Amino acid sequence: MASISIGRGGSLYSVRRWLGLNENPGGDTELGWGEAAVMRNFRVTKEGSLQIRPGYAEKLTLVQDAPVRGMWTGYVAGRFVWLAACGGQVWRIDKTAWTAEAIGAVADEQVTFFPFSGKVYLLDGSEYYVWDGETFQTVAGYIPIVATATPPAGGGTLLEPVNKLTGKKRQHFSPNGSATVFQLAEKAVDSIDSVKLGGAEVTTGITRNTAAGTVTWTAAPAAGTNTLEITWTKGTGDRARMTGQRFAEAYNGYTDSRIFLYGDGTNKAYYSGLDEHGSPTAEYFPDLNVLSVGEENTPITAMVRQFSKLMVFKPDSTYLTDYSSLTLEDGSVTAGFYTRGVERNVGHASPGQVRLVNNFPISLAGNSAYRWGLLYSGGVQDERNARRISDRIRDTLGGLKLDEAVTFDDEWNRELWIVQGETACIYQYANEAQGDFSYKNNLWYVYTGIPAASFISVEGALYFGTRSGALMHMSRNYHSDGGRPIDAYWESGSIYFKSDTQRKWSSEVWVAMKPEGQARVRIASLNETGGEPVGGVLSSGLSSFSHLSFSHLSFGTSRRPRVRRLRIKIRKFIYYKLTISSLSASATATVLSVDIRVRDAGTVT
C-alpha cells in the first residue's frame, strides 16, 4: 500500500496492484493492501487489475442429464478434431455449426484420451479403444513374433514377448523342403488363424490341428529362411488387466515414445514396446513390461513426465522413474526403468489429475496443493522437493474433497483450475517468469457456480462440460452464468493505516475503472464495529446495446480509464474495510486502482 501525505487533508492510501485471496489463519489485520480476506467470482488479470470473472453460456447439450466424462482436441489423420465423451458415446464436435456426431460407444465412466501415431486412443476402465479418423474400434493389439528361424519340428529363436492385450501370436518357420508338419510353440490352441508362405495367404493343401498345435501340408513347402508365418490364438493374454487401466502418460527418457497405462487401483503401471520394425506402438504391451512402484498397499494415482524423468504419485508418497537401456543375458538390449522414492509424506489424491504447470507438476495432497521443483540434477543425482503453494486458500481448498477434484491447466490464460462440486480454486501464474510481480508466484482466487466435470481449451477459448451433459463456453463476452447473476464480492482485510493506536476518519474514495460495456460495481466501506457497509454504485461503461440494462444505461464513448469519486464517510475508526461487489446478470467491471483519503481523528483512549 502506497501513501501520499496531502497536508491538513490527511493522506491518500493507494492500491495499484491486486494480489488475490489470502485466508490468513492469524486474522485479516495482517493482510497487505491489495490482498482480499474474502474474494469470490473476481479474478486478477495478468496486469494486476481486479476483474469480475467471465460468465458462461451453453453451446450445445450432448446427452441430457449425463456427465461430460472427458474431452480432447488434437490432430487425427492430419485433421484437427474435438472429441467429448458423454452418455456412453464419443462425440465429434463441430464448433462452427455447434453440432455433435456420435462416432463410437464407450462406458459411461471417466474417459481418458491420448494421441499416438496419428490416431487417438481412449481408456474408460473397461475397454481400450482407438479412432483413426474413420473407424472407431477396440484395440485388437499388435501380434508379436514369439519365435523366428524355427525348424519344422519347433523351437527356434525367441524374439518378441507375448502381448498382454491379446492371445494371438506369430511364429516364423524356415522350411527344409521335405518336412510337411510344422509344430507351433503352444498346443491346445483356440484357433490357427492364418498361414502365410512368402507373404501370401495359404488356405488349401493344409490341415490345422488346434489340439496338437500343428499345421500339416499335403506337399512340403520349398526350403527357405523365415518364409513361413503361422498365426494362432490361445486365450486373451492379460487383456482384462490392460483394459482396466484408466490413465496414460507418454515417457521414454527425453522422448514420448512409450505409453504407460495405470489407474486400476494397484501400484503397477504397464508400458508399451516396439513392433517388429522397431517402431513405437500403443498397441503392444509386452508381458514383462511392468513397473511396480512402492508397496502394494497403495495405488498409483498419477504419472507425469518432467523433463527427462517420470514422476509417479501415490496417495501418500512420490517416486521418480528414470530411463536407461538394459542389456539382457542373451545380449539383447531393452528399455530399463528405475524407480526410487523422493517423498515419503506427500503424494497426490485425485486419480489422474496432476498437471504440469510451467514445467512443474502440481499435485493435491491432504487439504493442500504442492508444486514440485527441481533442486538439483546431475549425472548421478536428481533431487526434487514439494513446496506447498495453497496456504492462501487453506480454508476454501480444505473444504473440498480433493480426491474427487477435477484439475485443468488453462495455458492460454495461465490459470490452473481445481474444481470440486461447483467451487473452483484458481492458481494464477501469468507473471511467474517475471519474478518482480509474481508475489512469490502464489496468487489465488475462488469462483463459485462452476458445475464443471471436464475442461478443454480450443484456440484459446475455455470450455467445460457439465454434470448434466451441457457444453459451456466461458468468456468475458458473457456477463451471466447461463442467464443467472454472477455474485462477485471482494473484501479487504482490516486495515489500520500504519497505526492501530489512532482513530481515523475517511470521507472519500477514488476508483479507477476500465471503460467497457455495462461496467459497474458497488464500492462500500465499513469499520470494525460492523453494521451495513456505506457506499454507492460506480459505472464506467461504453455506450453499447450488448448486455444492455436500461437501469444502468451509460452513453460513455471514451476508452480511456476513468476515475470516479465516492463520498463515503466512515468516522472514528481504528480498522477500515473496503468492499467491491456486483450481483448482476448484465454487469462487468475491471477495477484498476483505488485511493482512500484518511485523516487522523485522535488517539485511542
Q: What is the pLDDT of residue 224?
A: 98
Binned at pLDDT 50, 70 and 90, residue 500 comes out as confident
Instruction: State the Cα–Cα distance between residues 259 and 272, nearest whole angstrom.
Output: 5
Instruction: Report pLDDT digits (tens) over 108-152.
Output: 999 999 999 999 999 999 999 999 999 999 999 999 999 999 999
Q: What percent of the chain has pLDDT over 70?
A: 92
562 DSSP β-pair partners: 513
DSSP 108: S
* Residue of 179, 254, 182, 263 whose CA lies nearest to 223: 179
- Band of the pLDDT at 227, cuts 50, 70, 90? very high
Tens-digit pLDDT profile for residues 146-173: 999 999 999 999 999 999 999 999 999 9
476/408 Cα distance (integer angstroms):
19
DSSP 8-state class, residue 137: E
Tell me what pLDDT residue 335 has.
85
Pairing of strands 79-86, 89-94: antiparallel
Q: Give the model confidence (pLDDT) of 197-224 as tens digits.
A: 999 999 999 999 999 999 999 999 999 9
- 407: closest CA among 387, 395, 424? 424
CA angle 406, 408, 414 (to 5 degrees): 145
Q: pLDDT tens, 513-559? A: 999 988 999 999 988 877 778 889 998 765 444 444 544 444 455 56
- What is the rounded CA–CA span in Å between residue 588 and residue 605? 44
Whether the per-residue pLDDT at 297 is higher than 80: the answer is yes
Looking at every residue in the chain, the average pLDDT score rounds to 91
DSSP per position, 435-495: STTSTTT-EEEEEES--EEEEEEETTEEEEEETTSEEEEEETT--SBTTBPEEEEEEE--B
**How many distinct helices (H) and strands (E) make up the chain?**
2, 49
The pLDDT, as a whole number, for residue 436 is 42
* Percent of the chain clearing pLDDT 90 (strictly above): 80
Backbone angles phi, psi at 74, to 5 degrees: 165, -170
Q: Which fold has domain 2-54+486-603?
A: Jelly Rolls (2.60.120)
Q: Summarize pLDDT for 18-56 with one digit per residue, the tens.
A: 999 999 999 999 898 899 999 999 999 999 999 999 999
pLDDT number for residue 502: 87
Rounded to whole angstroms, how far apart are CA atoms 573 and 601?
A: 9
Which tens digits make up the pLDDT trace of 232-251? Answer: 999 999 999 999 999 999 99
Grid cell at residue 292: 511396480
pLDDT tops 50 at residue 84: yes
Q: What is the pLDDT of residue 332?
A: 74
Find all residues with CB under 8 Å of 428, minimum gap 6, and list them.
20, 43, 44, 46, 414, 415, 443, 444, 445
Three cell numbers written together for 135: 473407424
Under DSSP, the state recorded for 293 is -
Whole-number pLDDT of residue 333: 77
pLDDT computed for residue 48 by the predictor:
94
The pLDDT of residue 601 is 84
Domain boundaries, given as residue ranges, for the chain: 2-54+486-603, 145-233
pLDDT at 543: 45
Per-residue model confidence as pLDDT tens digits over 393-411: 999 999 999 999 999 999 9
Task: Kindly tell me if the per-residue pLDDT of 312 is higher than 90.
Answer: yes
pLDDT at 552: 46
Instruction: State residue 598's pLDDT score.
Output: 93
Measured at the CA of 327, the angle between CA 323 and CA 331, to 5 degrees, comes to: 155
Instruction: Check: CB of residue 225 under 8 Å from CB of residue 149.
Output: yes
What is the pairing mode between strands 360-365 and 79-86?
unpaired
Q: Are strands 36-40 and 11-15 parallel, antiparallel or unpaired?
A: unpaired
The tens digit of pLDDT for each residue in 337-366 reads: 999 999 999 999 999 999 999 889 999 999
SS3 243: helix
Question: In terms of residues, how long is the chain?
Answer: 605
C-alpha cell at 564: 470516479
Number of neighbouring beta carbons within 10 Å of residue 508: 16
Residue 437 has pLDDT above 50, yes or no: no
